[in-house]
Amino acid sequence: MGTRRKKIVFATNNAHKLEEVQAMLGEYYQVLSLQDLGENTDIPETGTTLEENAMIKADYLWKKYRQNCFADDTGLEVEALNNAPGVYSARYAGEQKSSADNVKKLLNELQGKDNRNARFRTVIALIQDGKRYQFEGIVNGVITEIPAGESGFGYDPVFQPDGYQETFAELGLDIKNKISHRAKAVEQLALFLRRK
C-alpha cells in the first residue's frame, strides 16, 4: 500500500511551472494549483524584490485557505543592465506584452554590449503550519545574440546556461528540470519538505 501524498498548494496557474514542480515533488506531494482551489484572483505582485513578491503570494494563500503553500518569483538578472529586468522580468516590455516582446526588448538593450553575462534567480517562499521559509536557486549563463529552440518559455530561447552550448529552449524540459534556477530552488524545498 503506497503512502498517501500530502497536499500542498503552489501559487500559480502557469502550466509550465506546475509541470516542472510536479515532476520534482510528485512522489511526495500532490501539488495543487490556484485553479484547483477555484482561486481566479491575480495575486498582485507589489514587492520590489523577488523575495517580497514570493512571500506576498504565499501570504495571500495562507491567510485565505490556511493550507500549506508556496509561491515563487523568478527574475532574469543581466549584468550589463544593472541586473535588469530582475523583478520586472515578466512585464519587461510592458504589462500587456508577450514573452516574445520581452525577449526582443532585452536583445535591443544588449546591442553593442560585449558583456552578456546573466543569471536566472528563483526565490520560493513556503508557509508551512504558519511558519515562513525561503529557498533560492541560481543558474548562471549568457544571453545569446538570437533566440533558438522551441522548448521552454519566457527568456529560455536566449539564455544559454554555463557549461552548455544550447539555450534552455534547445535543451528541453528534462535537462532544464535538472539544472535550472527553479529546479535548484524546488530541490531545496523538496529536501526540506521530505524531512517534515
Could you say which of 72, 73, 129, 174 is catalytic? Answer: 73
Question: Distance (Å, rounded) from C-alpha 46 to C-alpha 138?
Answer: 22
How many helices (H) does the chain have, and how many strands (E)? 6, 7
Signed CA dihedral, 168, 172, 176, 177: sign only:
positive
C-beta separation of 25 from 6 below 8 A: no
Signed CA dihedral, 174, 43, 73, 31: sign only:
negative
Q: Is 181 exposed, middle or buried (0-12, 13-18, 19+ CB in 10 A)?
A: buried
Question: 187 vs 13, 39, 63, 71, CA distance in Å?
Answer: 20, 26, 26, 14
Active site residue 101: no
Structure-block grid coordinates of residue 46: 507589489
List, by residue number, the catalytic residues: 73
